[in-house]
Chain A
Amino acid sequence: MTRPVVQGSIRRRLLVLLLCASAVLAVLVYFLVQSVARQVAQQSQDNILTASALSVIDSARIVDGSVMVDLPYAALSMLDSITDERVFYAVRLGDELLTGYAELPRPPRVGARGTAQLSAEFLGEAVRIAAVTRPFATDLGRNVLEVSVAQTLSGQRQTLAWTSRLSLAVGAGFFALTVVLALLIARATIQPLDRLTASVSRRGPTDLRPVNAPVPQEMARLVTSLNGFMARLEASLNRSEDFIAEAAHRVRTPLAVVRTKAEIIQRQIHKPENRKAMAEMIEAIDESSRTAGQLLDHAMVSFRLDSLPRDRVDLRALMRDAVERIRPVAEIADIGLDIPHADPATISGDAILLQSAVRNLLDNAVKYSPADTRIEISLRRDARAVRLEVRDEGPGFPPGTSAALTERFARGSNAKGVIGSGLGLTIVQDVVTAHGGRLHLDNQHGGGACASLLFPLP
């Protein structure tokens, strides 16, 4: 049987696609979580900075015509107490610095009353600045009081590093989960295919019924084609079998008429030369009918070998049956048949083919045995093999020809005068080989042929 050309695997393909998709999703999840975390962290920092700037600006008042600003301890301490952040501030009235760091950057366009935040570089460090403004009336007229509070970002960086690790873990966990899910999905998707494969391959070689098990929509066409193939195969097999049977019938019936008439005429003629001619005619009829029979048998054997059933076959019963079948033929020629040894033996295979093989061996033995001789048939079984042996007292095989004898239409050189088509041993060989066994053709020391079938036991 030719093996299919395997290219790729649906399961693997499905798995790879699902994993690619989930890897992309995992990366997205990673960035999403990280950006949300960054935003949340900045938001809370902005809130704290703004709150502290507001508490400063709330404390501003005018004392003796000048602006007084308290820096409430709580307002700044809540900025640096938790982490070791550095805190800067600047209080400005209009563009004039009242107190704090003059270089602290100002957010653009805050307006007269408002809040604004910005990230900037200050004294070589990244800082976040929140500025709060409020209109303020002094002796010099209306002006704007602006309080800026800045904080370094090392704490936020730590938080971000932590959330980054967290979002990496979330992404990885997400990916791991989707791997498991992808495996489950791939398996569930492939399952109907696996079920169909199992149900088809579980069948015996002769089971050609259509597949009736429910299959998904996508596989319906495949199963329809499969069923179509099997129906055609079955029809074709039946046709071959019918054809062989019909051919046999057509060939044998007229031969039977001719042979019977010839026997009748033989009884009625008395001239020796006519009798001899008639005997030769009958012999020729026998030869052609035997050849036709063996050709058809061979066709039937080849046909059955294609779909070899594996039944338990009782070889001992089969052998005894075959011996009893041929005994009347042997008796005509005064040939005795003995079964000196018959171990019980069962092998697996096709009973009809095995019967045909044993019958052909016995036919041969009877054909080549002279009158008043015996044929011994024995069946021995040991731990490793079953051996069916047929020994006769005939002329034996010509030396060195046993391999050639099993070829189609080959006959031994000493087969002269014996009817046979030369297909008998080919049939035996084919059947035995198909059953994992071997055919041995040997000559015995004392003369006579020994043909044996050797079936190895599992």
Chain B
Amino acid sequence: MRFLLIEDNAPLAAAVVDRLSLDGHVVDHAGDLETARDYVATTSYDMILLDIMLPDGDGSSFLTHLRLTENRTPTIVLTARSEISDRISLLDLGADDYMVKPIDFAELEARCRAVLRRRGSSASSVLSLGAIRFDSASGVLHVGAAATQLRTRELRLFEVLINAPGMIFSKPALVDRLFSYDEEVSENAIEVYVARLRKHLAGSDVTITTVRGLGYKLEQT
């Protein structure tokens, strides 16, 4: 996905850009509202992450500007203030969701998915490989004529794999992507979800291959 991050705290912005890049996202960073307006005027984004306290104005004025110019890019507000005072007005102004810092990136991913799902699937959310089609927004996997609704963790595992076909993902890397840090999980839990996905993929030309000692990869046979 292509993100626009509007955040004035430089260390935080740099860290968030790095962190989102790890998951294969492309992130542009704007440190103030003026830069942000230039970015949205020239580039189309899948998601805007908007801080609300910025040096040259309030994030909510940016939202108003955005919606006035008929720009419907989904927006998640990131606030560091008390959740109780800021919330209602921001959602009224046309933000799709908000999160309180510090951001849990698994939660951010889940919220992005939920926002996109609410907006309805777009062309960019449908991925194809061989005979399968996968709509990451709705979580539906089409194998030939059959359609399967994937459950949350299956969906996220499959999303990771299909975004980089042929790439090997280690079990620890997959655990990081699928589980939150306060969950006690063994790496064997991944095997359960891989087995479920293999069942869904049965009969297609796409398989999940185990690379002994390294991890898993998705490939077309």
Report A's interface with B, CB cutoff 8 A.
Answer: 241, 244-245, 248-249, 252-253, 255-261, 263-264, 266-267, 270, 272, 275, 279, 282-283, 285-286, 289, 293, 296-297, 300-301, 304, 325, 327-329, 331-334, 351-353, 355-356, 371, 417-419
Question: A331 contacts B12, CB within 8 Å?
Answer: no
| Cα distance A314–B106 in the bound complex, in angstroms | 31
Majority secondary structure, B binding face: helix
Which residues in A have their C-beta under 8 angstroms from that of B85?
241, 244-245, 300, 352
Which residue in chain A gives the minimum CB-CB distance to B52?
A: A249
Which residue in chain A gives the minimum CB-CB distance to B10?
A: A257
- Asked whether any CB of chain A lies closer than 8 Å to the CB of B100, the reply is yes
| Cα distance A260–B20 in the bound complex, in angstroms | 10
Question: A263 contacts B80, CB within 8 Å?
Answer: no
Which residues in B have their C-beta under 8 angstroms from that of A331?
110, 114, 152
| Residue of B11, B53, B101, B153 with most chain A CB atoms under a 10 A cut-off | B101
Report B's interface with A, CB cutoff 8 A.
Answer: 9, 11-12, 15-16, 18-19, 22, 53, 80-88, 97, 100-107, 110-111, 113-114, 151-153, 170, 172-173, 176, 180-184
| Cα distance A47–B72 in the bound complex, in angstroms | 114
Which residues in A have their C-beta under 8 angstroms from that of B104?
259, 286
Which residues in A have their C-beta under 8 angstroms from that of B101?
252-253, 255-256, 289
Question: A263 contacts B84, CB within 8 Å?
Answer: no
Which residue in chain B gives the minimum CB-CB distance to A328?
A: B110
Which residues in B have their C-beta under 8 angstroms from that of A334?
151-153
Question: B102 contacts A258, CB within 8 Å?
Answer: yes
Question: A352 contacts B87, CB within 8 Å?
Answer: yes
6 tightest A-B CB contacts, nearest first: A328-B110, A256-B102, A260-B15, A256-B101, A259-B102, A252-B80
| Cα distance A355–B87 in the bound complex, in angstroms | 10
Known: A255-B102, A286-B182, A334-B152. A328 touches B84 (CB 8 A): no
| Residue of B80, B84, B87, B105 with most chain A CB atoms under a 10 A cut-off | B84
| Cα distance A351–B80 in the bound complex, in angstroms | 21
Closest approach, in angstroms, between the C-beta of A93 and any C-beta of chain B? 119
| Cα distance A341–B106 in the bound complex, in angstroms | 30
Majority secondary structure, A binding face: helix
Question: B114 contacts A327, CB within 8 Å?
Answer: yes
A-B residue pairs in contact (CB < 8 Å), sample of 13: A255-B101, A257-B12, A258-B102, A260-B103, A279-B181, A286-B181, A328-B107, A332-B106, A332-B110, A333-B180, A355-B87, A418-B182, A419-B182
Question: A253 contacts B9, CB within 8 Å?
Answer: yes
Question: B176 contacts A266, CB within 8 Å?
Answer: yes
Question: A297 contacts B83, CB within 8 Å?
Answer: yes
Which residues in B have their C-beta under 8 angstroms from that of A297?
82-84
Which residues in A have their C-beta under 8 angstroms from that of B80?
248-249, 252-253, 256
| Cα distance A244–B81 in the bound complex, in angstroms | 8
Which residues in B have their C-beta under 8 angstroms from that of A241?
85
Question: B84 contacts A356, CB within 8 Å?
Answer: yes
Question: A328 contacts B105, CB within 8 Å?
Answer: no
| Residue of A263, A285, A304 with most chain B CB atoms under a 10 A cut-off | A263
Question: B12 contacts A253, CB within 8 Å?
Answer: yes
Question: A296 contacts B82, CB within 8 Å?
Answer: yes
Which residues in B have their C-beta under 8 angstroms from that of A418?
182
| Cα distance A249–B59 in the bound complex, in angstroms | 15
Question: B152 contacts A289, CB within 8 Å?
Answer: no
Known: A286-B104, A328-B113. A260 touches B182 (CB 8 A): no
Which residues in B have their C-beta under 8 angstroms from that of A282?
181
Closest approach, in angstroms, between the C-beta of B136 and any C-beta of chain A? 14
Question: A352 contacts B172, CB within 8 Å?
Answer: no
Which residues in A have their C-beta under 8 angstroms from that of B107?
328-329, 332
Closest approach, in angstroms, between the C-beta of B118 and any C-beta of chain A? 9
Which residues in A have their C-beta under 8 angstroms from that of B100?
252, 293
| Cα distance A278–B115 in the bound complex, in angstroms | 30
Which residues in B have their C-beta under 8 angstroms from that of A419?
182
Which residues in B have their C-beta under 8 angstroms from that of A328?
107, 110-111, 113-114
Question: A263 contacts B82, CB within 8 Å?
Answer: no
| Cα distance A267–B114 in the bound complex, in angstroms | 24
